[in-house]
Amino acid sequence: MPKVTSALMVLCIALAMRHPSGAADIDVAMEAYRNKDFNSAFSLFTPLAQNGSAVAQLSLALMYAKGEGTRQNLEAAKGWLEKSAQQGLAEAQYDLAMMYVTGHGAPQEPAQAALWLQKAADQGHGPAQFYLGLYYSQGVGVEKEMALAAKWFGKAAEQGESGAQFNLGVLYMEGLGVGKDLALAAKWFGKAAEQGDPDAQSSLGLLYAEGKGVGKDLAKAEKWLGKAAEGGNENARENLQILRRLRTH
Protein backbone atom coordinates (compact mmCIF):
# COMPACT_ATOMS: atom_id res chain seq x y z
CA MET A 1 0.00 0.00 0.00
CA PRO A 2 1.46 3.35 -1.00
CA LYS A 3 2.95 5.49 1.76
CA VAL A 4 3.42 9.23 1.90
CA THR A 5 6.51 9.28 -0.27
CA SER A 6 7.26 10.79 -3.66
CA ALA A 7 9.92 11.30 -6.26
CA LEU A 8 10.26 14.85 -5.02
CA MET A 9 12.54 16.09 -7.77
CA VAL A 10 10.26 14.89 -10.59
CA LEU A 11 7.20 16.14 -8.72
CA CYS A 12 8.65 19.62 -8.34
CA ILE A 13 9.52 19.83 -12.03
CA ALA A 14 6.00 18.94 -13.06
CA LEU A 15 4.29 21.19 -10.53
CA ALA A 16 6.58 24.15 -11.05
CA MET A 17 5.67 24.08 -14.74
CA ARG A 18 2.04 24.49 -13.70
CA HIS A 19 2.93 27.32 -11.32
CA PRO A 20 5.38 29.52 -13.28
CA SER A 21 5.26 32.34 -10.72
CA GLY A 22 7.15 30.17 -8.24
CA ALA A 23 9.12 28.13 -10.73
CA ALA A 24 12.47 29.84 -10.23
CA ASP A 25 12.39 29.52 -6.45
CA ILE A 26 11.14 25.96 -6.65
CA ASP A 27 13.92 25.18 -9.13
CA VAL A 28 16.55 26.34 -6.64
CA ALA A 29 15.06 24.18 -3.90
CA MET A 30 14.74 21.29 -6.32
CA GLU A 31 18.36 21.60 -7.36
CA ALA A 32 19.42 21.41 -3.73
CA TYR A 33 17.24 18.35 -3.26
CA ARG A 34 18.66 16.75 -6.41
CA ASN A 35 22.13 17.21 -5.00
CA LYS A 36 21.00 15.60 -1.74
CA ASP A 37 21.60 18.87 0.08
CA PHE A 38 18.51 18.26 2.15
CA ASN A 39 19.29 20.92 4.75
CA SER A 40 19.39 23.61 2.08
CA ALA A 41 16.34 22.23 0.29
CA PHE A 42 14.39 22.23 3.53
CA SER A 43 15.44 25.82 4.28
CA LEU A 44 14.44 26.91 0.77
CA PHE A 45 11.07 25.17 0.75
CA THR A 46 10.11 26.47 4.21
CA PRO A 47 9.58 30.19 3.41
CA LEU A 48 7.88 29.30 0.13
CA ALA A 49 5.49 27.07 2.02
CA GLN A 50 4.89 29.70 4.67
CA ASN A 51 4.08 32.22 1.92
CA GLY A 52 1.37 29.93 0.58
CA SER A 53 2.99 27.93 -2.23
CA ALA A 54 1.02 24.71 -2.45
CA VAL A 55 3.91 23.01 -4.23
CA ALA A 56 6.37 24.00 -1.50
CA GLN A 57 3.90 22.94 1.17
CA LEU A 58 3.66 19.48 -0.38
CA SER A 59 7.43 19.27 -0.77
CA LEU A 60 7.98 20.30 2.85
CA ALA A 61 5.42 17.75 3.99
CA LEU A 62 7.24 15.00 2.15
CA MET A 63 10.57 16.01 3.66
CA TYR A 64 9.05 15.96 7.15
CA ALA A 65 7.54 12.55 6.39
CA LYS A 66 10.87 11.12 5.31
CA GLY A 67 13.09 12.99 7.77
CA GLU A 68 15.09 14.74 5.07
CA GLY A 69 16.74 17.97 6.16
CA THR A 70 14.92 17.76 9.46
CA ARG A 71 13.82 15.22 12.02
CA GLN A 72 10.98 13.03 10.88
CA ASN A 73 7.78 14.62 12.10
CA LEU A 74 4.58 13.06 10.80
CA GLU A 75 2.40 15.59 12.58
CA ALA A 76 4.16 18.41 10.75
CA ALA A 77 3.96 16.44 7.51
CA LYS A 78 0.21 16.10 7.95
CA GLY A 79 -0.16 19.80 8.71
CA TRP A 80 1.62 20.86 5.53
CA LEU A 81 -0.22 18.27 3.48
CA GLU A 82 -3.50 19.69 4.74
CA LYS A 83 -2.49 23.21 3.71
CA SER A 84 -1.48 22.06 0.25
CA ALA A 85 -4.50 19.81 -0.16
CA GLN A 86 -6.87 22.59 0.85
CA GLN A 87 -5.43 24.67 -1.98
CA GLY A 88 -6.50 21.96 -4.39
CA LEU A 89 -3.22 20.20 -5.18
CA ALA A 90 -4.22 16.68 -6.20
CA GLU A 91 -0.90 15.10 -5.19
CA ALA A 92 -1.28 16.52 -1.68
CA GLN A 93 -4.90 15.42 -1.49
CA TYR A 94 -3.88 11.87 -2.40
CA ASP A 95 -0.97 11.75 0.07
CA LEU A 96 -3.22 13.09 2.83
CA ALA A 97 -5.81 10.46 1.97
CA MET A 98 -3.17 7.75 2.21
CA MET A 99 -2.31 8.88 5.73
CA TYR A 100 -5.93 8.24 6.66
CA VAL A 101 -5.91 4.94 4.74
CA THR A 102 -2.77 3.54 6.37
CA GLY A 103 -2.91 5.18 9.78
CA HIS A 104 0.67 6.33 9.15
CA GLY A 105 0.77 9.93 10.36
CA ALA A 106 -2.96 10.17 11.02
CA PRO A 107 -5.69 8.01 12.55
CA GLN A 108 -7.21 5.43 10.23
CA GLU A 109 -10.37 7.24 9.23
CA PRO A 110 -12.00 5.75 6.12
CA ALA A 111 -14.49 8.59 5.71
CA GLN A 112 -11.72 11.21 5.71
CA ALA A 113 -9.66 9.06 3.36
CA ALA A 114 -12.62 8.80 0.99
CA LEU A 115 -13.19 12.56 1.11
CA TRP A 116 -9.64 13.36 0.01
CA LEU A 117 -9.50 10.51 -2.46
CA GLN A 118 -12.62 11.90 -4.07
CA LYS A 119 -11.09 15.37 -4.39
CA ALA A 120 -7.92 14.01 -5.99
CA ALA A 121 -9.83 11.57 -8.18
CA ASP A 122 -12.03 14.37 -9.48
CA GLN A 123 -8.86 16.05 -10.71
CA GLY A 124 -7.79 12.95 -12.63
CA HIS A 125 -5.28 11.50 -10.15
CA GLY A 126 -4.96 7.86 -11.24
CA PRO A 127 -3.94 6.22 -7.95
CA ALA A 128 -6.69 8.16 -6.13
CA GLN A 129 -9.22 6.93 -8.67
CA PHE A 130 -8.04 3.36 -8.08
CA TYR A 131 -8.33 3.60 -4.30
CA LEU A 132 -11.71 5.31 -4.57
CA GLY A 133 -12.85 2.39 -6.70
CA LEU A 134 -11.66 0.02 -3.99
CA TYR A 135 -13.57 1.97 -1.36
CA TYR A 136 -16.79 1.84 -3.36
CA SER A 137 -16.33 -1.86 -4.13
CA GLN A 138 -15.85 -2.69 -0.44
CA GLY A 139 -18.11 -0.11 1.18
CA VAL A 140 -15.21 1.45 3.08
CA GLY A 141 -15.73 5.09 4.04
CA VAL A 142 -18.62 5.29 1.56
CA GLU A 143 -21.74 3.28 0.78
CA LYS A 144 -20.92 0.22 -1.26
CA GLU A 145 -21.85 0.91 -4.87
CA MET A 146 -20.44 -1.30 -7.59
CA ALA A 147 -21.43 1.03 -10.43
CA LEU A 148 -19.28 3.77 -8.89
CA ALA A 149 -16.51 1.26 -8.24
CA ALA A 150 -16.59 0.38 -11.94
CA LYS A 151 -16.59 4.07 -12.88
CA TRP A 152 -13.48 4.88 -10.88
CA PHE A 153 -11.67 1.68 -11.76
CA GLY A 154 -12.38 2.53 -15.38
CA LYS A 155 -10.91 6.02 -15.11
CA ALA A 156 -7.81 4.70 -13.34
CA ALA A 157 -7.49 1.81 -15.78
CA GLU A 158 -7.48 4.22 -18.71
CA GLN A 159 -4.51 5.93 -17.07
CA GLY A 160 -2.62 2.66 -16.87
CA GLU A 161 -3.15 1.70 -13.22
CA SER A 162 -2.64 -2.07 -13.36
CA GLY A 163 -4.57 -2.78 -10.17
CA ALA A 164 -7.56 -0.91 -11.56
CA GLN A 165 -7.26 -2.75 -14.87
CA PHE A 166 -7.36 -6.10 -13.09
CA ASN A 167 -10.28 -5.12 -10.87
CA LEU A 168 -12.20 -3.75 -13.83
CA GLY A 169 -11.62 -7.07 -15.56
CA VAL A 170 -13.09 -8.87 -12.56
CA LEU A 171 -16.18 -6.64 -12.62
CA TYR A 172 -16.75 -7.36 -16.31
CA MET A 173 -16.19 -11.08 -15.75
CA GLU A 174 -18.69 -11.20 -12.90
CA GLY A 175 -21.12 -8.56 -14.16
CA LEU A 176 -20.73 -6.42 -11.06
CA GLY A 177 -21.61 -2.75 -11.57
CA VAL A 178 -21.38 -3.28 -15.32
CA GLY A 179 -22.90 -5.69 -17.81
CA LYS A 180 -21.13 -9.03 -17.94
CA ASP A 181 -18.72 -8.94 -20.88
CA LEU A 182 -15.96 -11.54 -21.08
CA ALA A 183 -14.32 -9.84 -24.05
CA LEU A 184 -13.88 -6.66 -22.02
CA ALA A 185 -12.74 -8.73 -19.06
CA ALA A 186 -10.05 -10.26 -21.27
CA LYS A 187 -9.09 -6.83 -22.59
CA TRP A 188 -8.46 -5.39 -19.14
CA PHE A 189 -6.82 -8.54 -17.81
CA GLY A 190 -4.55 -8.33 -20.82
CA LYS A 191 -3.51 -4.76 -20.13
CA ALA A 192 -2.75 -5.54 -16.48
CA ALA A 193 -1.02 -8.79 -17.46
CA GLU A 194 1.30 -6.91 -19.82
CA GLN A 195 2.33 -4.79 -16.85
CA GLY A 196 3.26 -7.89 -14.87
CA ASP A 197 0.24 -8.31 -12.60
CA PRO A 198 0.26 -12.04 -11.61
CA ASP A 199 -3.47 -12.16 -10.80
CA ALA A 200 -4.33 -10.66 -14.18
CA GLN A 201 -1.93 -13.04 -15.91
CA SER A 202 -3.59 -15.98 -14.17
CA SER A 203 -7.09 -14.80 -15.08
CA LEU A 204 -6.10 -14.16 -18.68
CA GLY A 205 -4.52 -17.59 -18.90
CA LEU A 206 -7.73 -19.23 -17.72
CA LEU A 207 -9.77 -17.30 -20.28
CA TYR A 208 -7.48 -18.53 -23.05
CA ALA A 209 -7.65 -22.08 -21.68
CA GLU A 210 -11.45 -22.02 -21.70
CA GLY A 211 -11.94 -19.87 -24.79
CA LYS A 212 -14.02 -17.30 -22.93
CA GLY A 213 -13.88 -13.75 -24.20
CA VAL A 214 -11.01 -14.76 -26.47
CA GLY A 215 -10.39 -17.57 -28.89
CA LYS A 216 -9.29 -20.75 -27.18
CA ASP A 217 -5.51 -20.90 -27.31
CA LEU A 218 -3.73 -23.34 -25.04
CA ALA A 219 -0.30 -22.01 -25.95
CA LYS A 220 -1.27 -18.54 -24.78
CA ALA A 221 -2.96 -20.04 -21.75
CA GLU A 222 0.29 -21.77 -20.83
CA LYS A 223 2.26 -18.60 -21.47
CA TRP A 224 0.18 -16.45 -19.14
CA LEU A 225 -0.28 -19.08 -16.47
CA GLY A 226 3.47 -19.58 -16.55
CA LYS A 227 4.15 -15.89 -16.04
CA ALA A 228 1.63 -15.77 -13.20
CA ALA A 229 3.23 -18.81 -11.56
CA GLU A 230 6.64 -17.16 -11.83
CA GLY A 231 5.11 -14.15 -10.11
CA GLY A 232 4.02 -16.26 -7.15
CA ASN A 233 0.37 -16.98 -8.01
CA GLU A 234 -0.27 -20.43 -6.51
CA ASN A 235 -3.56 -20.98 -8.34
CA ALA A 236 -1.78 -20.34 -11.62
CA ARG A 237 0.92 -22.84 -10.71
CA GLU A 238 -1.70 -25.53 -10.03
CA ASN A 239 -3.67 -24.71 -13.18
CA LEU A 240 -0.48 -24.72 -15.23
CA GLN A 241 0.32 -28.24 -14.06
CA ILE A 242 -3.19 -29.38 -14.98
CA LEU A 243 -2.96 -27.71 -18.38
CA ARG A 244 0.40 -29.28 -19.16
CA ARG A 245 -0.91 -32.73 -18.24
CA LEU A 246 -3.89 -32.22 -20.55
CA ARG A 247 -1.68 -31.07 -23.41
CA THR A 248 0.52 -34.16 -23.17
CA HIS A 249 -2.43 -36.55 -23.47
- Render pLDDT for 42-99 as a digit per residue (tens, 0 to 9): 999 999 999 999 999 999 999 999 999 999 999 999 999 999 999 999 999 999 999 9
Domain residue limits, the chain:
1-123
Q: How many CB atoms lie within 10 A of CB 23?
A: 17
Kindly tell me if the per-residue pLDDT of 8 is higher than 90: no
Pair 141, 106: CB distance under 8 Å: no
Confidence of residue 22 (pLDDT cuts 50, 70, 90): low
Fold for the domain defined by 1-123: 1.25.40
Mean confidence (pLDDT) of the chain? 91
Please give the full DSSP string across 151-210, using - where no structure is assigned: HHHHHHHHTT-HHHHHHHHHHHHHTSSS---HHHHHHHHHHHHHTT-HHHHHHHHHHHHH
**Nearest CA-CA partner of 57 in 3, 95, 105, 106:** 95
User: What whole-number distance in Å separates Cα of residue 20 and Cα of residue 24?
Assistant: 8
